[in-house]
Amino acid sequence: MKLAVLSGKGGTGKTLVSVNLAAVAKNSVYVDCDVEEPNGHLFFKPTEIETETVAIKIPVVDEDLCLGCRKCVDFCKFNALAAIVNKLLVFDDICHSCGGCIMLCPSNALTEKDKVIGEIKTGISEEVKVISGILNTGEVSGIPIIKELLKKTAAEKRLTLIDCPPGSACIVMESIRDADYCILVAEPTIFGRHNLALVYELVKLFNKPHGVVINKCMPGENLIETFCIENKINVLSKIPFESELGAINSDGEIAVKSEKYYGLFSELLQAVVKEVEHETVTHS
């Protein structure tokens, strides 16, 4: 079972929820797809770390073979190539590794070279397998790293928590592709509601079963709860706004290690598992 945890903006409790669900589930896998700012590992402090690099393929030109025909330049939709004074320039940062230019060069002047854009670290934290994707600073797209992360976990039988990048851009779509269920985390503020509306659109678009976790709940009227009622979205859990939880979180500790919060996250996990099982029954 694969559960994706999303939020419209960073810092709304997405990592809190995914880390603690993985920790409470035990024998689980936590995948950090927030490749620009992976911080789940700060909580798990995994050991036995194995690192592998992720590279994309970009073209290199052999100037002796290049005829200056510009077929590659005209083809590249991303404008990653320019032909200037009989010299072909390749803009590595703009190239999307589609391989098209290499295929159509009439004189085989273009070949592939690897360009490392980041890495994947895999480690163990008690019974949780922790996998983090890290995009090197300055790189444009983390999607190739997310693809690798999901490939690694595709055959995984254990419960897998996918900590998605914030927002609702294509990198998030990539992260939820294989998910059985999406957990949307939101804070009860006007901005929180706006951000939730964006990710909600996304999960609807992909037809993913989903529910909402409201973080930083205070007594009284709740903007997110109202939004969920209006849109008939299931509220899975309300995490109270408590300084104790805030302190545990900012100390980089896992909340479910404290008696007080164990119940909260284990109930949330049960609620989600029930939802997914219900989905499987109604869809088969």
Q: Interface with ligand SF4 by CB under 6 A: which residues?
A: 59, 61, 66-72, 75-76, 78, 80-81, 83, 88, 95-101, 105-107, 109-110
Contact between 63 and another protein per CB under 8 A = no
- C-alpha to C-alpha distance for 281 and 284, rounded to whole angstroms: 6
Residue 249 interaction partner, one of another protein, ligand SF4, none, beta carbon < 5-8 Å per kind: none
Site for another protein in 17-36 (CB under 8 A): none
Of 22 and 171, which has the nearer Cβ to another protein? 171
In whole angstroms, the minimum distance from the beta carbon of 108 to another protein comes to 23
The per-residue DSSP string of 264-275 comes to HHHHHHHHHHHH
Q: Considering only residues 29, 33, 80, 164, which one is a binding residue for another protein as defined by CB under 8 A?
A: 80
Residue 49 interaction partner, one of another protein, ligand SF4, none, beta carbon < 5-8 Å per kind: none
Contact between 141 and another protein per CB under 8 A = yes
- C-alpha to C-alpha distance for 238 and 28, rounded to whole angstroms: 23
Q: Considering only residues 116, 170, 229, 247, which one is a binding residue for another protein as defined by CB under 8 A?
A: 170
- The residues near 206 (Cβ < 8 Å, ≥ 6 apart) are 173, 176, 177
Contact between 84 and another protein per CB under 8 A = yes
- C-alpha to C-alpha distance for 236 and 226, rounded to whole angstroms: 14
Q: Which segment (13-21, 27-35, 80-88, 125-133) binds another protein by CB under 8 A?
A: 80-88
CB 239 within 8 A of CB 213: yes
CB 5 within 8 A of CB 17: yes
SS3 31: strand
